[in-house]
Structure 1
Amino acid sequence: MLEISNLTHTYGSGPGAHHALGGIDLRVTQGELVCIVGPSGCGKSTLLRSIAGLLKPTGGTITLGGTPVDRTPDDLAVVFQDYSRSLFPWMSVADNVALPLRRKGMDRGRRRAAAEEALEQVGLAGASGKYPWQLSGGMQQRVSIARALAYRPSLMLMDEPFGSVDAQTREDLEDLTLRVRNHHNMTILLITHDIDESVYVGDRVVVLAKAPATVVGDLRVDLPGPRDQITTRENPAFVHLRAEVGRLVRGMRSHPAAAS
Structure 2
Amino acid sequence: MLKEERQNVILHEVNLHNKVLTTHLVERLNVSEDTIRRDLNELADAGRIIKVHGGALSRSFHNSFNITDIYSLPEKKRIAQKAIGLIQDGMFVFTTGGTTILEMARALPPQLRATFFTGSLPAAFEYLQHPHIEVILIGDRLSKSSRITVGGGAIAQIRQVKADLCFLGTNAIDIHAGLTDNDLDVVQVKKAMVESASKVVSLAISEKINTAQRLKVCNATDIDILITELDPLDELLAPYRDAGMEVH
TM-score of the pair, normalised by structure 2 = 0.28
User: Relative contact order: is structure 1 or structure 2 higher (C-alpha 8 Å, sep ≥ 6)?
Assistant: 1
Bigger CA radius of gyration: 1
